[in-house]
Structure 1
Amino acid sequence: MRIQKTVIALALAGAAFGAQAHKPWVLPSSTFVENDREAWVTVDAAISEGLFDIDHVPLKLDGLTIIGPDGATLEPQNVANGKLRNSFDVKMAKNGTYKIALVNQNVFASYKVNGEMKRWRGLEANMAKEVPADAQELKVTRTSSRIETFVTANEPSDGVLKPTGSGLELVPVTNPTELRAGEKATWRFLLDGKPAANLPFSLIPGGVRYRGTLNEVRFNTDAKGEITFKIPAAGMYVATASWPAPQAQGSQGGQQQQPPARRVTYSGTVEVLPE
């Protein structure tokens, strides 16, 4: 029973963005840089109790990919591993919009060997050799997560906004570095390249420690996986979504909820500029 609960907790961890949950995030120093010479941004990566607060542990940079407006993959500069956060710089040598993403896929398994419960976490490629072939009561959950942000040097572009076709992705119709308070924005969510219809997602602004309330705003996509909405105030936000959507307590008729066979999560940091 304890092992099963642990697997459920691990599988749902990426979707837990409530007021009391530790939240993984990446935060650029700016999302729109105007500079005639060299454009740079510094990106912090951490897991924290308060959104964008540096108060817990650093977020590992495994799976980090930086894609430039021309489709080229860039290397992070000046990587620093800290006690409470990791950070790196991005040199934006070309004008346009860049995507900075941490994409990871893992497998969680629980099973019995000679009557003793075991659990395992790792990569799909290692599962066959690390989990015994004769394991009993094997339960497997596959997870994929995307944590990302977008930054622009001088002029926005849309090359990096094209989907990869894997996992849960935000495909902004409105460039995410051109968001302004009070103006309409249109977003599209895709799951493995197909419209994520009726997908619930949340927008949470930073600064919770100064407000004392989360101020989470919730939305749902339409049948095409799209939504057009207004953001009421300027600031840094994180957009979060997960599939399948977490079920409310009691929705199983008193039965214990089983871990899903697959859990996909998304978290994207965007900046909303003043009107």
Structure 2
Amino acid sequence: MKPVFVRAALCAAFLLPVAAQAHKMWMLPSATVISGDEAWVTVDAAVSNDLYYPDHFPAKLDQLVITAPDGSTAKPENASTGKYRSTFDLAVPQKGTYRLALVNQGMFASYEVDGQKKRWRGSPAEFKGAIPAGAKNVEVSEMASRVETFVTQGSPSDGALKPTGKGLELVPVTQPNDLMAGEKATFQLLLDGKPAPDLKVVAINGATRYRNAQDEMDTTTDKDGKFSFTWPAAGMYWVNASTEDGHTAAKEAKRRRLAYTATLEVLPQ
């Protein structure tokens, strides 16, 4: 078998965060900066036409990963999925910054066996051995996306912000819960743990349902994968980047499509 990895039709679970798509995936916390020993936040997660207005379908919570300030994994409570959105509560007893992430990764394949077309879908770990040895016209696409937001209890910290070294990730240079209107904020994008240069990054202030245009800003990462925005106004901003990569070896050509999205709150001066 000689697999050929190609760009396939992109399913909503992985690539709706891409800025060019009409639908956008997001998580929206009820607050991003809080205080108090018994503090909680409620988070909505959805895919929608208008930012932060659930009108299409809910995000799946089975790939939700919440990292507490000390690096441990926190558990959501009261999780539920409705017609248009998913929601969950999160207790935030630790002082510092929490990272909330929906991490999706999968592979899609089509191939022929004895003249009959077959399809396969699963995780990268399941792919080995999934396609019959005699299969022909094998087409496979690997896709990965990360949708994040951040919540800080008391003083900010960086214990939860360490990159995993997998896929497209954001490393804050400016603390993500210390953003102010009129001020410049800088971040870094990594691809598999290395700086990701020359990527287009888009930022859109939410509540697009009540505007005639999205009024998006865009910039490009530098050689170190860094980019900056100066926020024109307060609000919840949807920040997105995507890329493709691949390689050709003796027996296969591999292509990945990756996307990163964050919801960041910008506060008034």
Distance 1:5 1:209, change over 3 A: farther
Secondary structure at the residue paired with 2:149? strand
Which residue of 2 is the match for residue 273 of structure 1? 267
Long gaps (5+) in structure 2: 246-252
Secondary structure at the residue paired with 1:41? strand
Structure 1 residue 51 and structure 2 residue 51: aligned? yes
CA contact (8 A) 1:62 1:104 kept: no
- 2:115 and 2:126 map into 1 onto residues whose CA distance is 23
- 1:141 and 1:153 map into 2 onto residues whose CA distance is 40
Shift of 1:9: 3.5
- 2:124 and 2:226 map into 1 onto residues whose CA distance is 32
Which residue of 2 is the match for residue 248 of structure 1? none
Distance 1:132 1:71, change over 3 A: same
Secondary structure at the residue paired with 1:161? coil
Structure 1 residue 60 and structure 2 residue 60: aligned? yes
| Deviations 1:178-228 (CA, angstroms, capped at 9, x unpaired) | 101101111111101100011111001111110121111111011111123
Shift of 1:15: 5.1
Give 2:22's aligned amino acid.
A
TM-score, with structure 1 as normaliser: 0.87
Secondary structure at the residue paired with 1:222? coil
Which residue of 1 is the match for residue 171 of structure 2? 171
Superposed CA RMSD: 2.2
CA contact (8 A) 1:14 1:145 kept: no
Shift of 1:162: 1.5
Long gaps (5+) in structure 1: 246-258
Shift of 1:52: 1.0
- 2:263 and 2:50 map into 1 onto residues whose CA distance is 14
Moved over 4 A (4+): none
Deviates most, 124-133 or 261-270: 124-133
Distance 1:137 1:64, change over 3 A: same
- 1:233 and 1:200 map into 2 onto residues whose CA distance is 21
- 1:154 and 1:39 map into 2 onto residues whose CA distance is 10
Aligned residues with identical type, % of pairs: 51
Which residue of 2 is the match for residue 138 of structure 1? 138
Q: 5 Å matches for 1:102-117?
A: 102-117=102-117
Shift of 1:5: 10
Structure 1 residue 226 and structure 2 residue 226: aligned? yes
Structure 1 residue 42 and structure 2 residue 42: aligned? yes
- 1:69 and 1:124 map into 2 onto residues whose CA distance is 29
Which residue of 1 is the match for residue 27 of structure 2? 26
Give 2:213's aligned amino acid.
T
Give 2:8's aligned amino acid.
V
- 2:228 and 2:17 map into 1 onto residues whose CA distance is 23
Which residue of 1 is the match for residue 258 of structure 2? 264
Give the helix-richer structure, 1 or 2: 1
| Deviations 1:233-256 (CA, angstroms, capped at 9, x unpaired) | 1100111111129xxxxxxxxxxx
| Deviations 1:157-192 (CA, angstroms, capped at 9, x unpaired) | 111122111110010111111101101111111101
CA contact (8 A) 2:29 2:149 kept: yes
CA contact (8 A) 2:6 2:254 kept: no
Secondary structure at the residue paired with 1:159? coil
Distance 1:260 1:234, change over 3 A: farther
| Deviations 1:99-137 (CA, angstroms, capped at 9, x unpaired) | 001112100112122223332221123234543222101
- 2:10 and 2:27 map into 1 onto residues whose CA distance is 23
Give 2:70's aligned amino acid.
D
Q: Which residue among 13, 30, 33 is the counterpart of 2:15?
A: 13
Which residue of 2 is the match for residue 122 of structure 1? 122
CA contact (8 A) 2:196 2:225 kept: yes
Shift of 1:14: 3.8
- 1:209 and 1:48 map into 2 onto residues whose CA distance is 10
| Deviations 1:71-94 (CA, angstroms, capped at 9, x unpaired) | 111110111221211111111111
Deviates most, 213-222 or 20-29: 20-29
TM-score, with structure 2 as normaliser: 0.89
